Amino acid sequence: MSTKKRKKGHLPPFIPIIRTTVQMPAWKALSYGARSLYHDLRGFLRVDNLNNGKVYRAYRDAGEDIGTKSLRSVQRWYRELEHYGFIVMTTPSCLGVYGDGVGAHWRITECPTFDAKGTHIAPTRDFDRWDAVLFDDPHKTESRIPKGNSSYPKGKHTGGSKRAPKQPKRFPKGYIDSAPSMFPKGIHNCLPPPTALWDTPTVDGIPSEADYHRMLSAIDAAGPEYLAAFGITAERWKRWRQGERNTARAAEGTSAATLATLEPEGHA
């Protein structure tokens, strides 16, 4: 029979949490993020509590331990633990000698601590004297509403688009449903020509080709003052008219060539 003594109840490294602590109303009022942060801080406290009052954990390192990348959330959880009395700040954060930031130091109130002379100080357990005032973060900023959006009352459905539709810049409001014209791109087509050109009857409201050419001739005769009222230069109008004539000549030439190739009916 072996004479070696067995180590009974020996556990691997763990984080101790006092059972009466998690049964207090202040603990139940904590958010889950603040509880996770408290477990993380508790894990850096020595077993003999000699470093209580000097426990520190940077926001970034604590976020990595908890599993979040939001430094603002970690800051808020620190303030929440301090509000409920689970931790007390002993040294605020500051800038170190070499320009590196030094995190704040904390004292965990459920564990004893020691003063500068090494005198044992009993745990204060500030959370036992919680006044039932829930945590309301004073550093929380209001959400900024983007320009063009409107705030909705609480409980309203916000699944739709919040941004108001923009009006088109090319045509003024009210002319979107106007019939398309044969003017070049960028030329306003909502005002009447300089003379009355629509005396002849039309078919379904569409002017004939002769009326269209009469209208163009009237605009040519009106001069550059009339074109300037619509933001069109005389040179631009002249280039467009020349391109239209070339298009018409090409169409006439194509039609003539097509007729020349056709044979009369009955020709053998």
Residue 260 scores a pLDDT above 90: no
In a domain, 64, yes or no: yes
104 and 187 in a common domain: no
pLDDT single digits (tens) 105-134:
999 999 999 988 889 999 999 999 999 999
Place of tokens 């916000």: 158
Q: Are residues 122 and 48 in the same domain?
A: yes
Where does residue 126 rank: exposed (0-12), middle (13-18), buried (19+ CB within 10 A)?
middle
Q: What is the CATH number of the domain that holds 104?
A: 1.10.10
**For residue 154, what pLDDT is reported?**
59
**Residue ranges making up the domain that contains 251:** 182-257
Q: Tell me whether residue 47 is in a domain.
A: yes
Q: Are residues 116 and 35 in the same domain?
A: yes
Rounded to an integer, what distance in angstroms lies between the CA atom of residue 74 and that of residue 61? 10
Whether residue 189 sits in one domain with residue 90:
no
Give yes or no: residues 108 and 38 share one domain.
Answer: yes
Q: Residue 169 falls within a domain, yes or no?
A: no
- The residues facing 89 across adjacent strands are 106
The predicted structure's pLDDT at residue 1: 45
Q: Are residues 116 and 210 in the same domain?
A: no
Does 93 map to a domain?
yes
Instruction: Write down the mean pLDDT value for the chain.
Output: 76
Q: Is residue 141 part of a domain?
A: no
Residue 141 has pLDDT above 90, yes or no: no
* Whether residue 200 is found in the same domain as residue 117: no
pLDDT given at position 213: 75
> What's the pLDDT score for residue 175?
47
144 vs 129 pLDDT, higher one: 129
In a domain, residue 108? The reply is yes
Q: Which of 86, 110, 129 is the last residue of a domain?
A: 129
Q: What is the pLDDT of residues 52-100, one digit of tens each?
A: 999 989 999 999 999 999 999 999 999 999 999 999 999 998 888 888 8
| Total domains, the chain | 2
Structural domain includes residue 210: yes
Buried-exposed string 245-259: b where 16+ CB fall within 10 A, e elsewhere: eeeeeeeeeeeeeee
For 179-209, give one letter per residue: b (16+ CB within 10 A) or e: eeeebeeeeeeeeeeeeebeeeeeeeeebee
| Residue of higher predicted confidence among 105 and 3 | 105
Task: Please answer whether residues 90 and 53 qualify as being in contact, where contact means their C-beta atoms are separated by less than 8 angstroms.
Answer: yes
**Residue 221, φ and ψ in degrees, nearest 5:** -75, -20
- pLDDT tens-digit profile of 180-228? 444 455 544 444 444 444 444 455 555 667 777 777 778 778 777 877 8
Note whether 89 and 106 are within 8 A (CB).
Answer: yes
Domain boundary (104, 129, 154) is at 129
Domain end, chosen from 102, 129, 156, is at: 129
Domain annotation covers residue 168: no
